[in-house]
Structures are given as structure tokens and as C-alpha cells.
Amino acid sequence: MRTTRLVTAFAVALLAAGLTACTASPAPDAGPETPTPGITEPPQAAKGSMPDLVGGSVAGAMAQLSGSMLVEDVSGKGRTVPMNAEGWKICTQEPGPGAALDGTRIHLGAVKKDEDC
């Protein structure tokens, strides 16, 4: 008899849990997503003039500049320059030193610090 009560209590608990799960209201529709600024359009480079970055660290350049930047390995090895860019130095830059930064994309060519440009 004790086993029957325990089984009945367990069955009632399962039934109640199942009914609660079935009657829960669905999450409200959030509607269409609004685009996040900066995601659909590349950010613009900072205003001012381009500093001479050749020979400096990529990490330092990234801290100094803002905007749309492309940093690529110019060693010919086809490596990806990491986002933190620690241990990489700049060999080439576009635009050149003194050029106006008017929203143009900055392109830096880099190699690991122990390699020749």
C-alpha cells in the first residue's frame, strides 16, 4: 500500500510538471532585428594625418589608430596576423606618413619581430 501511494504521488508530480510545461506561454516575438552600427558599414579611420608606422609594432599602431584597418603578413608565408598583434612589426603602410586620414582604409604589411621586412 505504501508503494502504491508513492507511485501515485510520483505520477501526480509528473503530470503536474508536464501540464506546467505545456501551458507555459511562448516568448513574445521580438520583431525584426535592427542593424548594429558599425557592423554593416566599415568604421571610418580617424581624422588627422597618418603617422610614420614603419618599424613600429602592430599592437602599438592598433592602439594609436582607429578605424578600418587591414593588417596582413608580407613575409610570403601567408600567415594570419593575430588580433592582438603582439610580436609583429610594420614593414609597409598605406596611406604613407603625413597623408590625410579622411576615412580611407589603413593597410599595414607586417612580419614577426625577429624577421626581416
Which 3-state string (H, E, C) describes the chain? CHHHHHHHHHHHHHHHHHHHHHHCCCCCCCCCCCCCCCCCCCCCCCCEECCCCCCCEHHHHHHHCCCCEEEEECCCCCCCCCCCCCCEEEEEEECCCCCEECCCCEEEEEEECCCCC
Residue 30 has pLDDT above 60, yes or no: no
Q: What is the model's pTM?
A: 0.59
**pLDDT over 90 (residue 101):** no
CA 14 to chain centre: 45
pLDDT of 7: 40
Q: Could you tell me the residue ranges of all domains in the chain?
A: 48-112
Percent of the chain with pLDDT over 70: 60
Cα–Cα distances in angstroms (integers) from residue 91 to residues 39, 75, 86, 102, in the given order: 29, 10, 15, 22
Mean of the per-residue pLDDT values of the chain:
73
Q: Examine the pLDDT at 85 and tell me if it is beyond 90.
A: no
CATH of domain 48-112: 3.30.10
pLDDT band at 102 (very low <50, low <70, confident <90, very high): confident
Residue type, 64: Q
Q: Looking at residues 69-78, what average pLDDT do you find? A: 95
Separation CA 82–CA 80 (nearest Å): 6
Residue 87 has pLDDT above 80, yes or no: yes
Q: What is the Cα–Cα distance from 28 to 78, expressed in whole angstroms?
A: 48
